[in-house]
Every structure is written in structure tokens, then in C-alpha cells.
A and B are shown apart, each in its own frame.
Chain A
Amino acid sequence: MIDDVVVAGAAEVPYIRRPPPGVTTPGLLAEGLRLALESAGLGHGDVDGLGIAAFGLGPDHVIDLAWHLGLELRWMMEDSNGGACMNMLAHAVRAIEAGDAEVIALIAGDCLVGDRFVELASNYNQVTRDYLTPLPVGGPPALFAFTTQRHMMRHGLSRAAYGHVVASQRDWAARNPLARYRAPLTIEEYLEAPMVADPICLFDCPPVAAGADAVVVTRAARSTGRRVHVRAVGCSFNHDQHLGDGLSTGVARIAPGIWETSGIGPSDADVISVYDDFPVMVLVQLQDLGVIEDDDVARFIVEDLATHRVAVNTSGGMLTVGQCGPTGGLHGLVECVRQLRGEREAGQIEDARIAIVVGYGMVLYRFAACSVLAVLEAV
């Protein structure tokens, strides 16, 4: 178990669907730093480590950003793992344990909307450029349409099952002032929504936005308020070499070790955050975690997820808040830290002490290849 590393602060720069002129990726990252430091009760001069995930930072790199932010650093990283950018947390924890840095800010953010988003989606990697964009595929919805169909077939689910995932997160979103789509969603409304790529409908797709998420990682002694310890964090990359069907992620590979390291299991969690682009992946990752103990997905949706008996994606998730490049990789971490610090007001889970956070990202061809799993405990 990791003893002495905490997430001392967490913040989200409110997402904007249509950012006005002047809103930039570096500007959003800077605001994320400011808010996270404020949350941590630490100052600009305390920061000696910086990790950044942003697709739209180029041609600059993190050193350029650090310069413009006036930061002198001993530790720095530039992450490119999208929705799995929480792997920066694993690196930051090791760096602090090793004494390479004392106060590390991890920030994910982007201002990639409209044509810039299309450019990103069309050139996500060489394989996308060579084999998907010419079809055209137009981004991930069509790919996860296939994944959803396989999942429906395997578990005997109808479209309504995925509607319950979205509706459940809408219910949470009603208690999150930072969520964009906060109105309740009925299953009937879900089923009647415009199709994007059958069976993926409009409500299955996180709205593209501009914004940022940020956390501050440091030693327990440097934190103020309730301490949120990182008890374990691990990563998996290329768990199945893309030979599988996308219905299992690297989480299944690393979860047993994480439970052993932390002494905490999936049933201990007061709040869980899993990457939710798209609803099918919420269910897949919960299965990989072992949260759906009997593997009866239909029962779990009705009895545990829709009722909030298991608290999943309590911010409303990306499906209601939005997606700003790789922010989904830190959004769940920010939400869970805020839950464990008792900062969520109307959306607060009573006596929340343990959180499980999962990141998932980087679609190589048919599905994504990177997973991160972290266990947090408030003391």
C-alpha cells in the first residue's frame, strides 16, 4: 500500500460547448492549475512538478507551458494517452515517493471544438488516417456501435439497458452545477433520440467541449483538510494486442494486483468513476472491476446502477458534463477526490471514504488500448 502520497486538491475548469474567441488550450490549462492550487491551499511557488495531457498544445510542449506559467520544475511529463491520462498519477506518485518532486500538478485540458475536433478525430493515429478516415468513420461512435452490439448479444441486452446508464448519470448530473445536461432523461426519450451510428444515439455521445481538469499530488504532510491518499494505482497498455473483441479492458488484468496492494476491493468503494465514452464501456469496466459480481449485467443495471445503490459516475460523467480532448482521463479523479473531501454539496455521497477510479483511452483501431486504475482513501 502507498502510505504517504495524497491528492491534496482537485478542480475542474467549467466546460464550454462553444468557447468564445480568446479561449485557448494553454489558457484553460493555466486556469486548471490556478484552481487546483487554490483547492490544495498551496501556492504557485510550491509547484515543482507538472504533468500535462492536451491534444491541442502543439506546437508547444510542456516545457513551453511551464515557461509561460513561470514554473521552475524538477519533474515534468507530457502525456498522450487521452482518456487514460490518469496514468500521470502513477508517475507522479512514484516521483513523490522517490523524492524527485514535492508538489506535482497534473492537468488535462483542451479547446478542440468544431474543425479542430474533426482534425483530431481524422488524424488520431496513423491507422486511423490510413484505414478509418478514408471509409469515412468520423470518430469513435461507429466503432463503439460495434462494441455495443457485441455487448448486447453477449448479455442479452436491449438498447434500453444503455439508456438506463445515461439516465442514471443524468440523475447524478442534476446535483452537479458543472454538468451541462442536467434534466432527467426518460428511457422513452433515449429510445427516440436521433441515431448517430446504430445503436449509438445522440445521448450516448459525450458533447464535445472546451475545459480542463486538474489535481495536485503531494506528501500527506503538505496537504490541508481531509487527506485523500492514493492507496494504489496501476496501468495496462495493449492488454490484448487488439486481438480481442473490446469487451474486456486492461482493468481486468491489473485489478487483482491493485486490490492486493491496497487491501481494498471493489465492494468497499463508496464511489466509483469509470470512463463513459460510451455507455457500453461503463458496463465493461464495471465488469472488469468485479463490481458486477454475478456478471448479470441486466440485473445490475436495474437493481444497482439505476437505483444508485452503487454510486457510479456521480458527476454525471462525460455524458452530461462533456469531453474536452483528454479531460475524461482526469474528470473522474477530480470528482472522486471532491467526493472524498466532502466538497460536492448537493451531489455529496454521505460519508464517502473510498473511491475507485478508472481511465480508458486511445482507440488504436477498433477499441482502446490503455487503462488506468486507482484506489483512493480519505483519512
Chain B
Amino acid sequence: MSDGLDIPVCAQCGLAAFPPHLACSHCGSMSWDSVVALTGVADEITVLRRTVGSDPEAPAIALGSVRTQAGPTVIARLDLEVRAHDEVELAVKRGVIRARIARTRSGLRSSG
């Protein structure tokens, strides 16, 4: 599990974009840096209860549209206690972007 979520930032104009792109939509640069977004705000949340082909007995899961401190909005798996507009901590665990209620940290960190 890694703390935070890597957010690509255009090396030329500073536009943050997620998911990663080949070229910056603002200036066309193909050079990217990144920052680590440690936190964000869960702007909207939903409870996914069923999908086509899913096991009807499978437990519901919480998902959120999380506006990261770096700017881009990401879709994350939420801890069930997260409510809309909560500040959340971001992490990546086994390839899954996760968010839980923020407790101690806030903001951005330079990557590397």
C-alpha cells in the first residue's frame, strides 16, 4: 500500500491531469513530473449495490468522486464511514485507489 496517489503534472505548464496522458491538453508538452496527492474531498459518494452479472449476495461497496488536493477528480473505493464532502486520505492498495476519512495529514507531497 502506498500513501497518497501519484498525479501527473505537466513539466511545462503545470497542468495536473489524471489518469496519466501522453501529452498535455493545455500546452501539448509530453514531459511530465508528478506530485503525490495525500488528501482530497469526497464531493459525491454512492453505494454500489448491484451490477450486471454480479452476485446478488455480494456486499454493497462505497465509491466516491474525490477531488484531490492536486486538482484532478478521481474515482475511489471509500471506507463505508466516509460521507459526502468529507476530507479523505488517499492511498493505493493492490492497484485500487482507496480513500478514508482524513485524520492527520493534508495536502501534497513532491514525488520521489
Contacts and interface: CB of A to CB of B under 8 A. Distances in A.
Interface string B39-75: 0000110111111111000000101010000000111
Contacts of B37: none
A298 B75 CA distance: 29
Contact of A149 (B44, B47, B76, B94): B44
A154 B74 CA distance: 20
Interface residues of A, number: 35
Contacts of A114: 53
Given A135-B76, A135-B77, A366-B65, A146 B44 contact: yes
Contact of A146 (B17, B47, B61, B65): B65
Contacts of B97: 131, 135
Given A131-B97, A135-B75, A142 B53 contact: no
Given A145-B46, A366-B73, A117 B96 contact: no
A370 to B, nearest CB: 16
Interface of B is mostly: strand
Interface size class, chain B = 20 to 34
Contacts of A139: 51-52
A145 B51 contact: no
A138 B53 CA distance: 9
Interface of A: 114-115, 117-118, 121, 127, 130-132, 134-139, 141-143, 145-146, 149-150, 194-200, 208, 238, 241, 243, 365-366
5 contacts: A127-B19, A132-B75, A141-B48, A142-B63, A366-B75
Given A131-B75, A136-B61, A139-B51, 18 more contacts: A115-B53, A130-B19, A135-B75, A135-B96, A136-B48, A137-B48, A138-B48, A139-B52, A142-B75, A146-B65, A150-B43, A194-B49, A196-B50, A197-B46, A197-B47, A241-B25, A243-B25, A366-B73
